[in-house]
C-alpha cells in the first residue's frame, strides 16, 4: 500500500479525497502560478501542476516520506481567456459579469510523482459549465459572501455559486478542483494501491 501525498492545502480537494475513502497527508506548497505563455493553454495548466508536484517532492523526501505525490491546478477558460483566482472584489465582479449567460470550460490538471520509482504521470480533465444570465445585484450579493475570493473563475459550484449554473457536462468534482474519476483510472492504470480510511464503528 502506498501513501498518498497531496500537494495542496485546498479544503475542497481534501474533502473529495476523504469522501472517496483515501488516507493522505497534505503538504502546502508555494510556487509561482503565473502561466508559461510559451506553452499552449492545456500545457500551461499541466506545467503549474508539475511545479507544485516537484516542490512537494522535495519536501516529502526531506521528511523521509515514501508514496505518491498528487498535485492539481484548476483554471476557468472563457474562449481563449483564462480566469484564475480573483485578486480582489473588482476582478471577481468582472469575471462573473463575463461568465454571465455564457458557457465556459473548467480545466483541472493533475500531476503525480512516485517518490520511489520517480515515475511521473499527468492528466488534464475538462468540464463544460453553462451559466444563466446574472443580474448585477446577484453578482454583488455573491461577492459579499466572500466565497469567490480563492476560487478559479470567482465561483464555487459546490457552494452558493451553484445557483448560477444552468447545467454542466462532465465531472462535477473536476469543477470543484479534483477530477476524481480520472484520478481513479490513473491509479488503476499505474497499479497504485493507496491506504484507505478505516470506516467508523
| DSSP per-residue string spanning 147-183 | GGGGSGGG--TTTGGGGGEEEEES-HHHHHT--HHHH
Rg (CA), the chain: 17
Contact 90, 98 (CB under 8 A): no
Grid cell for residue 6 = 497531496
Residue 196 DSSP label = B
Q: H or E element: which one contains 6?
A: strand 4-6
Active centre residues (catalytic): 73
* Cα–Cα distance measured from residue 136 to residue 192, given in angstroms and rounded to the nearest whole number: 48
Grid cell for residue 182 = 480520472
Amino acid at each position: 500500500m502506498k501513501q498518498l501525498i497531496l500537494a495542496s492545502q485546498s479544503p475542497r480537494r481534501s474533502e473529495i479525497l476523504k469522501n472517496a475513502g483515501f488516507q493522505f497527508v497534505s503538504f502546502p506548497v508555494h510556487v509561482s502560478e503565473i502561466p508559461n505563455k510559451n506553452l499552449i493553454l492545456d500545457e500551461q495548466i499541466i506545467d503549474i501542476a508539475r511545479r507544485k508536484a516537484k516542490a512537494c517532492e522535495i519536501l516529502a523526501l526531506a521528511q523521509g516520506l515514501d508514496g505518491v505525490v498528487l498535485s492539481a491546478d484548476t483554471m476557468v477558460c472563457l474562449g481563449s481567456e483564462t480566469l484564475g483566482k480573483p485578486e480582489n472584489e473588482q476582478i471577481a465582479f468582472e469575471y462573473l459579469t463575463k461568465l454571465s449567460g455564457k458557457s465556459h470550460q473548467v480545466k483541472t490538471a493533475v500531476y503525480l510523482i512516485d517518490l520511489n520509482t520517480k515515475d511521473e504521470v499527468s492528466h488534464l480533465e475538462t468540464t463544460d459549465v453553462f451559466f444563466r444570465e446574472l443580474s448585477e445585484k446577484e453578482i454583488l450579493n455573491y461577492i459579499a459572501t466572500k466565497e469567490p475570493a480563492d476560487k478559479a473563475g470567482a465561483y464555487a459550484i459546490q457552494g452558493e455559486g451553484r445557483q448560477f449554473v444552468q447545467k454542466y457536462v462532465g465531472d462535477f468534482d473536476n469543477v470543484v478542483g479534483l477530477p476524481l474519476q480520472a484520478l481513479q483510472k490513473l491509479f488503476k492504470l499505474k497499479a497504485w494501491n493507496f491506504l484507505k480510511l478505516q470506516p467508523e464503528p
